[in-house]
Amino acid sequence: MNDDERRRSIGRPAGATPGSGAGWRLLIQTMATRKAGLAIGIVVGLGWAAGRVAIPLLVQLGIDRGIENAAESDEGWRAVLPWAAAIVAAGVFSGIALGLRRYIAFRNARAIEARLRDRLFAHIQRLHFAFHDAQTTGDLMSRANTDLQQFQNFISMVPMLIGSVITVVAVAVIMLVIEPVLAALALVGLPLVYLLGRAFSTRLFPTVAEIQQRSADLAAVVEEAVGGVRVIKGFGAEPLQVDRLGQAADRVHDAGFRALAIRSRFLPAMEVAPNLGLIIVLAYGGSLVLDGRLTIGQLVSFNAYVLLLVQPLRTLGMGVTTGQRSAAAGVRVAELLATAPVITQPRRPTELPPGPPRGRVEFRGVGFAYEAGRPVLDGFDLTIEPGESVALVGPTGSGKTTVANLIPRFYDVDDGAVLVDGVDVRDLRPQHLRRQVGLVFEETFLFSASVADNIAFVDPEASMGDIRVAAAAAGADFVDELPRGWETEVGQRGYGLSGGQRQRLAIARAILADPRVLILDDATSAVDPAKEHEIADALAGVMERRTTIVIAHRPATVALADRVILLDDGRVVDQGTHDELIATNATYRRVLALTPEGISG
């Protein structure tokens, strides 16, 4: 398995990809959450069906009784008037029921879609880092939006589908009561419709499932193109991205046309099949009228009922198509919901002891690998005392960032244990643990909000005084110079600011959280050397009051730490102060020489 295949497989449910049954089960389970609303919609749909079915019967009675009474009496048109009024009443009732049915159906569908979207979003938030490492944002967005929209489309059709089924059954029963033989001939097309519908469903599902997947791939391309627009423009690679998007769009187009070809073969046949009965009714029914075995009103109602079958059967055909799309979408949603979070809350979580002192971090014989057989940490031992600042230094791939990720339990160790204040992190509630560990990533992410809102992300109720103090500690003295000061919108991902400004806001955000342990993962890499010294001075006071782990390559940043830990091949190979290691360890000197400042910084 290559690296791309490994990334795609991480976090996926074990076993084969689920079939359409998984999609249907999820759809039914989701609809069960709105039983009352669906029941009301079905009742209203039955009222709509009853109104429609009653009209041809009233037409029959109006012809056979009203017109005949008018011909045999002096009442004239007044004999027909009650039947005409009844037909109008049935039509009005059916129209009102139709409006109510649509309103109730869409209200239920929107409510179910919203509930499932909330469930899906919450589940995505619970999933572990390894899962998100393997997934594209576009694919997850497609599952949470496009796929759930397919659910909404089908659920909104449920009352109409049930009403259509009831209409077909009621029409068949009424026709059999009026004239069994003629009814049997008129309904000769129904078995054909069933067979066509079954073949249609079987052939359509794989194609619509492919459309859903291809659409997700297209969304991923668009998301990456928008998120990476600076890289694309920086390399002048717009034509390459246009070509990549075109290829993804062509795959959606091709899959869509295959589905269209299937529909074009089956849907017309399903619609024409009921009309075969109309020809038989006109031929055989006409002879029955001439023989006096059938009234003119009955013949007219038979024709009306055959025509009435066309729309419900067409709706059922649409229901098959929409249902298959929903089932295909449901498979993708069910697959995501079936992915179990690896990082879970313990049954009996332990609380961190109140400080002070607080912030002691211990790694006891830790072994960890992202991929089996390729350990990143192997027998890793390290103890960091409360309030101590430690710098982790080492060549690329030595495990520095992995050490930082194991403390807030973004991943679980394979061997050994990680402890914070004497408690194994696996015995703590993940959310509680992460509130106590502030992490500033090398790749800074800011939200599309104001400067103040970004700093106060972890504590929306924080006062402006606290926000300003945190910003000052991070050296974010540039804020007052921005066009709107603290209310300045930073733009998507914070790209309205420089890289150094983004990192200083991220550091301020971590400081405001007041964590026991502060981890700076190469957090000053985008800051120019002159400003780095200012930030270092500001951070010095913050680091005195809490345990701080600094992952850095710049000597000026490393020198902030009380102790420097040199890592290589997943182990601690040396430790001491910055000056001691510079003087005694050639590996340490080589690592720092990789930076622009060299060892002279």
Please give the Cα distance from 574 to 502 (Å, whole number): 33
SS3 call for 128: coil
The CATH code of the domain that includes 415 is: 3.40.50.300
DSSP E strands in 426-562: the ranges are: 437-440, 517-521, 547-551
Measured CA to CA in angstroms, residue 360 lies from 106, 353, 383, 519, 570 at distances of: 55, 11, 7, 13, 21
Task: Tell me whether residue 78 is in a domain.
Answer: yes
Give the bridge partners for 576, in sequence order.
Answer: 564
Q: Which two tokens stand for residue 327?
A: 């089932």
Q: What is the model's pLDDT at position 418?
A: 95
| Same-domain check for residues 302 and 174 | yes
Helix-helix angle 35-61:296-337, to 10 degrees = 170
Q: Which residues, including other chains, have CB under 8 Å from residue 175's CB and lie 6 or more apart?
A: 182, 183, 186, 187, 302, 305
241 and 372 share a domain? no
Same domain, 259 and 386: no
**The residue to which tokens 């449901």 are assigned:** 330
Does residue 465 belong to any structural domain of this protein? no
Same-domain status, 259 and 314: yes
| Predicted confidence (pLDDT) per residue in 465-479, tens digit | 888 888 887 778 888
The confidence score (pLDDT) of residue 420 equals 92
Q: In terms of domains, do 383 and 278 share one? A: no
Write the CATH number for 243: 1.20.1560.10
> What Rg, from alpha-carbon coordinates, does the chain have?
35
Asked which of 337, 365, 395 is the last residue of a domain, the reply is 337
Residue 257 in tokens: 């046309």
Q: What is the pLDDT of residue 443?
A: 74
Strands 517-521 and 547-551: parallel
User: Could you tell me if 396 and 311 lie in one domain?
Assistant: no
Do 324 and 374 fall into the same domain? Answer: no
| pLDDT for position 531 | 62
Distances (CA, A) of 562 to 73, 348, 387, 439, 520: 114, 36, 10, 19, 15
- Residue 237, domain member (yes or no): yes
Angle at 262 between CA 256 and CA 268, to 5 degrees: 125
Return the HEC string of 88-103.
HHHHHHHHHHHHHHHH
* Domain range for 559: 357-436+553-601
**Residue 280 counted as domain residue:** yes
Based on the fold, state whether residues 330 and 374 are members of the same structural domain. Answer: no
Helix (H, G, I), strand (E, B) or coil at 83: helix
- Residue 342 token pair: 């690896």
Question: Is residue 532 included in any domain, yes or no?
Answer: no
Last residue of a domain, one of 337, 366, 393: 337
Amino acid at 376: V
Cα dihedral 290, 293, 295, 299 sign: negative
Cα distances from 243 to residues 138, 218, 228, 246, 254, in angstroms, run 18, 12, 16, 5, 16
d(CA 536, CA 371): 36
Q: Which residues contact 342 (CB under 8 A, 6 or more apart)?
A: 11, 128, 130, 131, 412
What residues contact residue 115 under an 8 Å CB cut-off, 6+ apart?
30, 33
Taking the C-alpha atoms of residue 353 and residue 436, their distance in angstroms, rounded to an integer, is 12
Q: What is the pLDDT of residue 489?
A: 84
Do 405 and 281 belong to one domain?
Answer: no
Burial of 130 (C-beta count, 10 Å sphere; 0-12/13-18/19+): middle
Q: Are 154 and 26 in contact (CB under 8 A)?
A: no
Which of these three, 272, 307, 337, is where a domain ends?
337
- What pTM did the predictor assign? 0.67
Quick: pLDDT tens for 364-415. Answer: 999 999 888 888 998 899 999 988 889 999 888 888 889 988 999 989 999 9
Per the structure, the count of domains in the chain is 2
- How far, in Å, CA of 303 to CA of 373, rounded? 75
Whether residues 287 and 364 share a domain: the answer is no
Task: With respect to residue 33, please indicate whether it lies within any of the assigned structural domains.
Answer: yes
User: What gap in Å lies between CA 514 and CA 279, rounded to an integer?
Assistant: 82
Distances (CA, A) of 437 to 468, 515, 577: 21, 5, 24
| 94 is a domain residue | yes
Is 427 contained in some domain?
yes
Same domain, residue pair 32 and 93: yes
Taking 50 as the pLDDT cut, the residues of the chain under it are 1-17, 595-601
Give CA–CA dist 290/296, Å, rounded.
9
Same domain, 286 and 368: no
At 415 the pLDDT is 92
SS3 373: coil
Is residue 558 within 8 Å of 592, Cβ to Cβ? yes
503: Cβ contacts below 8 Å, ≥ 6 apart? 440, 444, 523, 524, 525, 526, 527
